[in-house]
Amino acid sequence: GENVEQHPSTLSVQEGDSAVIKCTYSDSASNYFPWYKQELGKRPQLIIDIRSNVGEKKDQRIAVTLNKTAKHFSLHITETQPEDSAVYFCAASMGSGYSTLTFGKGTMLLVSP
């Protein structure tokens, strides 16, 4: 089955800095890669996703890049703000049929004012 590795497990940045979280996956058939944000005590919520026919996708301060050859994808957050502090999860699936999502173990991002 699919295996998703996520790094780093914790990331501390100063407000205004950029943050990058990286994930690798094992199944070359995977072609859908969402990112979820989970604030303390809350449910995970989708913040951005990318499909294998796209190399990069941006939404305001967040962007995701995908390298299918190397089987890795990354989340980039620019101009970080304290409200960006949360746990971020990457995930992968084959994106077809009733494929299930396999999640990474999460990255705790701490943004200091």
Residue numbers of the site for another protein (CB under 8 A)?
1, 6, 9, 32, 34, 42-46, 49, 51, 89, 93-106
Q: Which amino acid is at 79?
A: E
CB of 10 to another protein, least distance (A): 11
Task: Pick the closer one to another protein by CB: 9 or 81.
Answer: 9
Task: Pick the closer one to another protein by CB: 34 or 86.
Answer: 34
CB of 113 to another protein, least distance (A): 26
Helices (H), 44-94: none
CA dist 95 to 44, 50, 51, 64, Å? Answer: 19, 11, 8, 17
CB of 1 to another protein, least distance (A): 8
Q: Which of 59, 110, 105, 45 is closest to 84 using CA atoms?
A: 110
Task: Pick the closer one to another protein by CB: 32 or 78.
Answer: 32
